[in-house]
Structure 1
Amino acid sequence: MEKIEKMKQEFMALQNELLPLVKLENSFRKEEVQLIAGVDLAYWDAGGKAYGTCCIVVINYHTKEVIERVNSYGEIQVPYIPGFLAFRELPLVLEAVKKLSNEPDLYMFDGNGYLHARHMGIATHASLYLQKPTIGVAKSYLRIDEVDFQMPENAAGAYTDIVIHGEVYGRALRTTANVKPIFISCGDRIDLETSTAFVMDCINRESRLPIPVRLADLETHRARAYYMKKEEE
C-alpha cells in the first residue's frame, strides 16, 4: 500500500504539472483532417503477471476506409490505480504509434480526456506526447465528485453537457436514437463542439461508437486472443 500511495502522489504531481499545457481549442482547420486514428487497449493476466495490447486503426476521414492497423504488446509495469490509468496505458500507446506508417491528423481514444477528476484522462495525457489533437470517447460514465450526467433526448446528435463545479468537463452524446449515450470529452488541441462534430461524422449504423474507436475495440479482442494463444504455445 505504501508503494501504491507513493506512486499516486508522483502521478498526481505530474498530472498537475502537465495540465497547464492543455488547450481546449482547435489547433487546426477541420478541412485539413484526412486521417483519424482510433486507439484502444485490452488486458489479461497470465502466470501471475499482467499483460496488455494497444491497437490503433487509422481510417480516411472522408471515405471511412481503413488505411492501417498496428498493435503493441507487453507486460504491464504499472498497477491499476483509479484516476491514473494513463500511466498504465501510455507506454503501450506510444509503442504502437511508433509502428504507424501513416501520421494521423487526429486521435480518438476509447476512454476519457478532460472528463477526469484532474482533467488528465488518457486522451489528454497522450496528446501531450503525440502532439496531435485528441478526443476521449467513453462507453460508460465515470462519476466525478458524485455528479451524475443528464440523459440527452432520444435523438441522434442530442447531448447534454456534464458540468462539475461550474465547469464543462465533457458531454453525454446520443449518437443514434434508441441507444445508450456515449461520453465524449476534449483531449487536447480541440474544442468540445469540434470533438462532437468529428464523432458524429464517424457514426454509422453498425455501432453507437465512432468508426475508429469501434474498429480499435474489435482489434483488441483479436490481438488479445492472438497473444494469449501465443503465450500458451
Structure 2
Amino acid sequence: MKNEELFKREQEKWISKISLKNNFELADIHMVAGIDIAYWTEGKVDYGVCCIVVIDYITKQIIEEVEYWGKIDVPYISGYLAFRELPLIMEATKKLQCKPDLYMFDGNGYLHYRNMGIATHASFYLNKPTIGVAKSYLKIKDTDFQMPKNEMGDFTYIEVDGDVYGAVLRTRKDVKPIFISCGNWIDLETSIKITLHFVEKNSRLPITTRYADLATHASRRKYTQ
C-alpha cells in the first residue's frame, strides 16, 4: 500500500474525534507553546529542526525553549505534511521541562483538505488544545476568502460547503491578515482571542509562533554552516 493511502487511513480514524469546543477555561491557560519547523537538504538527504518556545500567558515572557533536529524519513506528499513533521515535534516535546497548556502551530489545523492539518493531527499525540496559525492561505475546493476590514481584530470566516474551516484575521492595521483555524478541543472564537492576545506591535504574527519561526531559522543556519 502506498504512503498516501496509509496516511489517509490514519487521518480518517481521527476525524470523528475532532472537537471544535473548548475543553478548558481560559483562566486555566498559563503556558502556551509555539511550534515551527525548518527544513534543509544535504546531498540527497532531507533534514529538519523543530523549535518550541513556551510563553507565559500573562507576562508574555519566554519560559523555555527547546529544539530537536534530525533526518527526515517521510517523503513530502501534499496534504500529508503532518506525517513529515510529527516525529520531530514529538521528539522536541520530550525535551520540555514545563508542561504547556496549549500549543500554537505555524501551520493549519481544521483549515485543511480533510480538516487534519498539523495543529489538529498533532493534538491527538500531545493531548492538549491546539491552534493553527498560517501566514498564507491553503485554498480548499477553489474556495476564496473574503478580506477582513483594515482594522485590528477584524476577521471573516472561511466556509467550505457550509462548514466553517477557519478565519482570516487582521491582527494589525495596514498589514496582511493571517489564517487562524482550530486545532482541537478549542473553538474558533477562543482561537482568535488567544492569537490576538499574543500579537505585538512589531509583527502581524503572535509571539508564540513568531519566536518559534525565528528560532528555527537560527537553528537551520547553525546546522548548515
1:105 pairs with 96, 101, 104, which one? Answer: 101
Candidates 3, 13, 34, aligned match of 1:7: 3
* Counterpart residue number, 2:39: 43
Tell whether 2:174 aligns with 1:178: yes
Structure 2 counterpart of 1:139, from 124, 128, 135: 135
Please report how far the alpha carbon of residue 178 of structure 1 lies from its aligned counterpart in structure 2 after TM superposition. 0.4
Per-residue CA distance 1:116-167 (angstroms, 9 max, x = gap) = 0100000000000000000000000010011011100000000000000100
Letter in 2 for 1:157: G
Answering whether residue 193 of structure 2 is matched by residue 200 of structure 1, we say no
The structure 1 segments of at least 4 consecutive aligned residues displaced by more than 6 Å after TM superposition are none
What percent of counterpart residues are identical?
A: 56
Letter in 2 for 1:133: P
Q: Secondary structure at the match of 1:120?
A: coil
State the match for 2:69 in structure 1: 73
Q: Which residue of 1 aligns with 2:84?
A: 88
The equivalent residue for 1:210 is 206
TM value normalised by structure 1: 0.95
What are the ranges of 5 or more consecutive residues in structure 1 without an aligned counterpart? none
Question: After the TM superposition, which residues 120-131 of structure 1 pair with which residues of structure 2 at under 5 Å, given as runs?
Answer: 120-131=116-127
SS in structure 1 of the partner of residue 100 of structure 2: coil
SS of residue in 1 equivalent to 2:49: strand
Alignment partner of 1:25 out of 21, 28, 41? 21
CA distance in 2, matches of 1:92, 1:228: 18
- Structure 2, unpaired ranges of 5+: none
Out of 164, 168, 182, the position equivalent to 2:164 is: 168
Give the Cα–Cα distance (whole angstroms) in 2 for the partners of residues 22 and 223 of structure 1.
Answer: 33
TM-score (norm 2): 0.99
Partner SS state of residue 53, structure 1: strand
Distance 1:11 1:61 in 2: 35
Aligned partner letter, 2:185: R
Q: Hey, what does 2:149 align to over in structure 1?
A: 153
State the secondary structure of the residue aligned to 2:108: coil
Q: What is the aligned partner in structure 2 of residue 187 from structure 1? A: 183
Please tell me the residue identity of whatever aligns with 1:162.
I
What secondary structure sits across from 1:70 in the alignment? strand
Which residue identity does 2:104 align to in structure 1?
M
Q: Distance in 1 between matches of 2:202 and 2:5?
A: 42
SS at match of 2:147: coil
Counterpart AA for 1:227: Y
- Counterpart residue identity of residue 34, structure 1: H
User: What is the deviation of 1:185?
Assistant: 0.2
Higher helix share: 1
Deviation (angstroms), 1:80? 1.1
* Aligned length in residues: 225
Cα distance, 1:221 vs. partner? 0.6
